A and B are shown apart, each in its own frame.
Chain A
Amino acid sequence: MSTTTPDTRSDASAVLVGEHGGRLPAPIPGERPTSGTSFGRLVHVELRKMLDTRAGRWLLIALGVVIAGALTILFVQQGGDHPFGTYLQATTMPMAILLPVVGIMAVTSEWSQRTALVTFTLEARRTRVAWAKVVAALLVGVAAVVFSFALGAAAHAAAIGLRGAEGDWTFTWTALLGAAGYVLLGLLQGLGFGMLLRNTPAAIVLYYVLPTGWSILGSLWSQAEKAGQWLDMNRTMEPLFSGSLTGEQWAQLATSVGVWVALPLTVGMWWITRAEVK
């Protein structure tokens, strides 16, 4: 600081006046890092990026509105007299349906908004960025499931307390785990579609059209109907909600997850590590 004077226009200590009269950023004291960015910091940033945009906010608001609407209907209908499981479904289902969009946009916005340019220059190990997105999406999913559980419980308790509904707290942990699996697999599928297509509208449309496509195909052609038992994720994930799967159902689930989650993620990551970022 001996050759520089603090700038009078600013009380910011890190801004100095250089010899040319222009203000310069102050050096950060200490050695420059010799180790790479930690994975935790990458996950932190990816998590923040999922929620700090206008699109991200609106998605959460929309989710809140849908859940609030579903709970209100339950609350009013039949004097709010529904078992806890029904309330739980009202909070979980909207999340399972809408959250995959968070996964899709976590990847596609990097390309549509061209932020990949910044993302991959601040962390050049692109696979780590991709995995940070996966972990961040899973954290969002887990938080969503915990939140929907708490919200469903609160709504059921409120129905008992305020509407005099009969308390029915029966639920199986396996069903809850199944619901969590449903939400998390949806998020991962969204990520995979995002990485594969890198285009928001295309990924969203494909994600939501796919189940309808299966049912149309299945009604037209019996071979497709058979294939759908193994490949239509909407059908293979359904038993998750009941909480018990047979061996064949596990195999069907694994097959569909392999095709629609693991494969897009693998191919997408391979592409990301090799792509030219424009």
Chain B
Amino acid sequence: MTQANSVDATLRALLADVLGLGEDRAAALTEDSGLFGELPEFDSMAVATVLTEMEDRLGIIIDDDEVDGEIFETYGNLLAFSLRKVTD
């Protein structure tokens, strides 16, 4: 598995766990799938939980200043942010 594929799989599993999406809905997320503001489960507590789990599961540290609304706009944005962090 390439690193990009493994980050993608980790991120989908994490969103499935936090948002209770189930495997099918998590697998069906595309780059353009909306997250915050679009999925009703995605509230501010879920954002916080996703960030902490990303740190744990991807082995990264996410600074307060790096988090803006854009990251959670779409699945594609969240994936791009995660890939940037793991290759930093």
Q: A and B: partners?
A: no
